[in-house]
Amino acid sequence: MRPKVAFHTLGCKLNFSETSTIARSFEGEGFDRTDFDQKADVYVINTCSVTENADKRFAYQVRQAQKQNPDAFIVAVGCYAQLKPEELADVNGVDLVLGATEKFKITDYLNDLTKNEYGEVHSCDISEADFYVSSFAIGDRTRAFLKVQDGCDYKCTYCTIPLARGISRSDTVENILKQAEEIAAKGIKEIVLTGVNIGDYGKGEFGNKRHEHTFLDLIKALDTIEGIHRIRISSIEPNLLKDSIIEFVANSESFVPHFHIPLQSGSNALLKTMKRRYLRETYTDRVARIKQLMPQACIGVDVIVGFPGETEELFLETYEYLNQLDISYLHVFTYSERDNTAAASMPGAVPKHIRAKRSKMLRVLSTKKRRAFYESQLHTECQVLYEGENKGGYIQGFTENYVRLKTPWDPNLVNSFAIVELDRIDEDGLVRFKEAVPNLS
């Protein structure tokens, strides 16, 4: 019988794209893929290290794999595996830990699936992670995550990503277009562009630090791909979100009016301490420009609470700034000290119970913002792309501007478009709608 392999991904869309690429390498070596909650011969956990909670979740997933098969070979890859390989290798049940470059050659290390007495580590110095590996993920029949860039040259004082992923580097436009065409050929209608710092696209495209192409060049090229109806930009730094990009998206038929823009703090004093490359005035300007050209645009925001030196006054400055800003939702991160970052040794540490309180306040604000955004879209016509999962008797989907909808389950709607009129918001916060116009595709 063919051996079975199962995967679990922690963290970001970029990790999901790389997990899929690693999974395809297993299939090429004669493995059958199965779900993580099923019995498998090999379990691969793609790790994240952005927060303390993500670290703890790794050990939990190892235990889950052992419950399915105590004799399974367990492999750790990803950011946490690069940053703290010995720590992962010491987790009971872990057989193999692979670093940033080794993870893409994972099957080379699996000549024998007999469990190791001790976890084996293969991890390079992060300076050696200077080459690019193309990746894309097909999570369902509806959308694909397409990696276009990796690594980061920024030195934000709280962030371990440059230590885990290395320098900023990019795929070639030619490779990205080829992958987009491959995705389109599978009948997938939406692509989400992913990377660590995608606005820096073009750096390292041909192995050098020059920008042979810009992010604007890339999205203009992708806009010509036939068969992809929607392209979504996952996250882009405000200082790299140029007017030319906003204007292009506003006039594009493929790129949707949805932006996710990291802010991290609404206090200029904290932005400087974080070594962010902008002040909040730049952020305000970016939001205003988007809304000027695309009034219905959805804008998501990353924000960190409890950063060292965040007094009550500075937190309230962030809260009030976000409260008055025309945005749609927040991703709230509670600051946690990470080894080998400048912020870990900064004075003014915020007690954890205060961090938790502030995080809760911003999550409540996010709920209010999303509700207000959804209400602003009621009684308008939108295009919905239906997903492929039956969730409690309903099929769900997203509009171009990221409003999540639901309607009673109908398998004939999967991966199809329809024009709908947004009608009301249910108790679960999802939007219901009146009878759809016949499917467009």
- What does DSSP say about strands 417-425 and 431-433: parallel, antiparallel, or unpaired? antiparallel
pTM of the model: 0.92
- Please, what is the Cα angle at 166 between 164 and 172, to 5 degrees? 125
Give the pLDDT score at 139: 62
CA-wise closest residue to 212 among 173, 168, 246: 173
Q: CA dist 204 to 268, 276, 328, 435, Å? A: 31, 22, 34, 49
Per-10-residue mean pLDDT of the chain, 441 residues long, equals 93 90 92 95 91 78 96 95 92 94 92 89 86 82 90 95 93 96 93 96 82 93 94 96 98 97 98 98 98 98 98 98 98 94 97 98 98 94 91 93 93 91 86 62 49
**Do the beta carbons of residue 387 and residue 395 sit within 8 Å?**
yes
The size of the chain, in residues, is 441
Give the pLDDT score at 66: 96
Give the pLDDT score at 423: 87
Give the pLDDT score at 49: 81
CA-wise closest residue to 236 among 224, 248, 227: 248
Give the pLDDT score at 121: 95
- Helix intervals (H) in 241-279: 243-251, 268-274
Give the pLDDT score at 54: 65
In the Cβ-directed half-sphere of 240, how many Cα atoms lie within 13 Å? 21
Give the pLDDT score at 431: 80
The CA dihedral of 273, 279, 280, 284, to the nearest 10 degrees, is: -160
Give the pLDDT score at 141: 62
